[in-house]
Homo-oligomer: A and B are copies of this chain.
Amino acid sequence: MITGHVFIATSIDGFVARKSGELDWLMKQETKGEDHGYDAFMASVDGLVMGRGSFQTVMTFEEWPYEKPVVVMSRTLGQDDVPAAIADRVTLTRLDPAGVMKMLDGQGWRRVYVDGGKVVQSFLRDGLIADMALTRIPILLGDGLPLFGVLDSDIDCEHLDTRTFPSGLVTSRYRVVNNAG
């Protein structure tokens, strides 16, 4: 069965980015030499699913950071909006979360990195997230793009483990137990 997995950092008050998408508050953390498990996590997935907002933020980076295939969920962008240099690794889709997972399952994917606030929210609502690694950055932003959003009902989680880092980052992993959708 194909499963969705979250690996994401938030401020203490739960934002993944400023309203504008900016990640400056995240980048300023002194985390040199720390292994937050990103490489191991990335090695464990077949590829990523993200939304237009995350895609456009990543496009502002100096280099495209992903070697694995990326699926971008957008109702407004088309394949023409993907630069030629990464066109072999980036696919646009207008499918809903379940449709995306079905498509990727058909392509042999087993583990999907689900990234970005809105996309994580929609996958959680549709019962498509198996577990989440949540890293808390020691800062309060007061405003921004929230990781979590409205649900149809409570979602119980099981705490798997928590690791702390000299930088002040704290990563907790949770298994999503029930997801009534």
Q: Give the interface of A toward B (CB within 8 A).
A: 12-14, 25, 124, 134, 136, 138-143, 147-159, 161-162, 164, 168-170, 172, 174
Contact = CB atoms under 8 A, between A and B. Distances in A.
Contact of A151 (B141, B157, B168): B141
A164 B157 contact: no
Nearest to A12: B157
A142 B153 contact: yes
B152 A142 contact: yes
Contacts of A169: 159
Contacts of A139: 154-157
Nearest to A13: B148
Contacts of A140: 124, 148, 151, 154-155, 157
10 tightest Cβ-Cβ pairs between the two chains A and B: A142-B151, A159-B168, A13-B148, A140-B155, A138-B157, A14-B14, A138-B159, A162-B164, A142-B150, A162-B170
Contacts of A148: 12-14, 140, 142
A138 B155 CA distance: 9
